[in-house]
Each structure stands twice: as C-alpha cells, then as structure tokens.
Structure 1
C-alpha cells in the first residue's frame, strides 16, 4: 500500500507532515488517519521535534472522509470504527500542532483542522461540515469543536446547511488565526512553528494543556489548573535559564529540563 503521509526530518525543532492522497483530495480513510496518529505518537517521543506543521496540497487540505469506505460500513461497522481511536490519539498530541490550510477543508478535513492548536489559512481555503447533505452529521468532533470555535449561530448555520465558509469569514469568526496568500501558507506556518520551537518545551506543553482546559471546564477549575502548572514550572531548569537570559540580555537556550 502506498504511503499516504510524508513526514519531514526535524529542522530547527519543526517537522512538516503532508497528507498525501492527491487522487482523492486527501480524503481521510482509516489508513491515512492511522498513519497520522502513529506519526504523531512517534514525534511525541522525539526531543528534537518541538512543533509540528500539518498540511495537505494547494488544492485541498482534506476534502472530507473517504465516502467509498464509509459506504461499506453498516451500523455495527460504525460502532466498531477503528478511526475513533485514531482521532483520540491525534487529539492527545501534547506538542504544538499548526495546520496550514489551502483549498478544501471539509467534513473530516475540517474536523482534523480543528484538532490543531493554530490554523493558518490561504485566501482560497474553504471550511465546512457538509455531512448533512449525505443524511448524516459530523462524527469526529465537528459539532463540538466548531461551536466552541465560532459560536452557536455560525456553527448551526454551517452544520445544518452544509454550506462552507471562506478563509476571511473563518478568520473573523475565530476559526483561523491568520489568512495569507495561498503560496505562502506553509511558509508562514513553518516560520511561526520555528518561533514557537525556540520556547521552553515544558512551558509549551503546560500552556497548551491549560488553554485547552479552558474549553472543557469552568473558570474556577481552569484557574486552579493554570496556577498549578505555573507553580510546577517554577522548579524547572528552563525557568532559571529564561530568567538568567533576560537579566543578561541574551537569547535563552531551553532544553526541556
């Protein structure tokens, strides 16, 4: 079976992962999701990789789930769907994950984008959850993450109508952080990733966890977690290095200790 994922070596703390099923606009079948989950699990253990950029092609980040594969599954097949575990493993990735999106990010593709921590979009990007047109609904976090990202009204509009929004609309709604020229999308995402990769790894991990916690818990619980994480970082060598570098007016060299 051909490889459906291209993973670059770590460079300046950053790896680039390319979805690669060009004949079907990177439709997310079980094998592709499994390869992505396995790649992220391996990168989790790689100290040389601090940030990951995930992208597709200029035409499509991912146009959705693999409909042909989906059509073969009945109710029992859906209940036993191995993709559920792959989605959970992707969601559990603890290092910063940046999505660089050009073209279509629809259905499962939009859901995969929303697993990223930061989304950089080309001006030609389209985001949508068109599952309703197939008589179904999003099933990999589309209703839950989208509502948290863009609010109730727009999420309802996108999911119930199946109509996609463009990159500028997505930016205004808070789904993406930046919009760039399509030919610069990956370049901008890598530049941002390299900037983030210079920061203290343990601080990045706990800051990401605290920010995600804000989506899932009440304010008081979130504040308790934030303070606990802040206190834990007080015992790290990177904190000492960061303060010393600031006082000595030099760049900090963080090691993740």
Structure 2
C-alpha cells in the first residue's frame, strides 16, 4: 500500500449524532485506499450503536467536499478482479455510506466529484453552499463511476438529468442541482455544516425505529412496484405502531409535551 499518501476519515460522536469527516483538505479530500478502509471500519459501529441516531457527512477544507478517488492510489486495490470484488472486501467508501442504516445528512461545498458525488447520492439529505459544483467526470477519461453513479443518480434526479451529468461530464452548479433535486437546500457556505447538524439533530430527536424504517421504506420505493410498496408500507407502519416509542408519542400528543423516545 502506498505510504506516502496522507489523509484520514475521522469519526466523532456528538450526543446521538455522529460526524463522519473526510480529512484530506490539501487534495480536496480525494480518497485513498487507507481512507476507504477507515470509512468501512466505522459502519458496524454506526449501525449497531443504539445511541447514534443520525449521521452528518462532510469534508474538511475550503476547496470542496470530495474529489473522488485518488487515481494515483487505485493500484493498491489489487488486480482488476480484486477491484471488481471490492464490495465483498469492504473496500468501497461510497458503498459504505449506502450501507449506513441511520439517516445520513451530507454537508456539501465546493467540488463534489466522482466518488464524492456517489457518497452524496448515497446520503439521504444533501445541503449545499452556493459554490457547490457536482461533476461525474469519469466519462472524460474513458470510464463511468462504479459505486452507484449510474444507478443512484437516476433514482435521485431522473434519467435525463443523470445523462446530462454522466454523458456530458461537465460540472453542474448549485442552483441547477437544486432544481434537479440533487441537493435539498442551499445555504451560505459558513452555514452548511451547522444546517446539516440541525437537520441531523432533528432526525435524531425522532423515534429511531420509525426513522430507520422510514429510510428503509424510501429505499424500497426506489426498488419495487408501487402496489407491492404500498403493502410493504402497511406492514412497516403496523410494526412501528406496536413499539414503545409509538405509545410514548401518543401519550406526549395527548399531554401536549415533547415525547421522550428510547428506541424501543
């Protein structure tokens, strides 16, 4: 493995909100194999620590959220076949974001490129700054993204907008991204992180079972026929209504107070 490359992915826990931090600002947080391994090492903890109810994902530095994979480090993934099987080896950072069961809010600024775009699409809510620029530039070099780019983009923005990004290969500015639904809000650059935390904390204040089941159901809506989805939704709803948190929510409503959800 290349030892001269710097950078890390850091995990911080703040109450019931986890912060996943891409920490290689001098390279626009371009992801190395080491950073990929670190990202994947956190997924079990994020999914199984019941105190964590939401996740904020962001990248350090002024230039951008993430420039994707560091192309000088790709050889450390192994042979072509080993690279193809990286999902099974827990060696795909965008796939890692997709596997997080807790709701993920991405705080975006500057460049969101390649694998950075895939991580953003794998998140559940995206907040951007006016200088946010999205780009699926792989087509310019002879390939397309392989960690959800051609699939998640279609589900996120529709086939026409996805084709604009994927085939044109040029940047899409924040306002156009907002119209596409690629980001949900644009706020001042200095407010992006705080707004993402605000949204994540609001999610974390909700009943955690209901929040995770809601995320799961939105995923299902992207994958199964509507009629099946409606039946599945009713089963999920019925399960949620049997939880202690649902009973607490009903009591809190009747007593005109904030509910105290415990994830049971």
C-alpha distance in 1 between matches for 2:112 and 2:28 = 10
Structure 2: tracts of 5 or more residues without a match: none
Are the aligned partners of 2:114 and 2:135 in contact in 1 as well (CA < 8 Å)? yes
Any idea what the Cα deviations from partners look like across 1:45-79, whole Å, max 9, x if unmatched?
A: 22221111000023211011111122666533433
> 4+ residue runs of structure 1 moved beyond 6 angstroms?
none
Root-mean-square deviation (CA, aligned residues, Å) is: 1.8
Q: Scaled by the length of structure 2, what TM-score is found?
A: 0.91
1:124: Cα distance to partner? 0.7
C-alpha distance in 2 between matches for 1:80 and 1:155 = 25
Are residue 75 (structure 1) and residue 84 (structure 2) matched? no
1:243 alignment partner in structure 2 = 250
1:151: Cα distance to partner? 1.3
Are the aligned partners of 1:6 and 1:20 in contact in 2 as well (CA < 8 Å)? yes
3-state SS, counterpart of residue 260 of structure 2 = coil
Q: How many residues align?
A: 256
1:17 alignment partner in structure 2 = 20
Which residues in structure 2 correspond to 1:1-257 (within 5 Å)? 4-11=8-15, 13-57=16-60, 58-70=62-74, 75-81=80-86, 82=89, 86-257=93-264
C-alpha distance in 1 between matches for 2:93 and 2:135 = 21
C-alpha distance in 2 between matches for 1:34 and 1:92 = 14
Are the aligned partners of 1:119 and 1:176 in contact in 2 as well (CA < 8 Å)? yes
C-alpha distance in 2 between matches for 1:14 and 1:158 = 32
3-state SS, counterpart of residue 42 of structure 2 = helix
Are the aligned partners of 1:5 and 1:20 in contact in 2 as well (CA < 8 Å)? yes
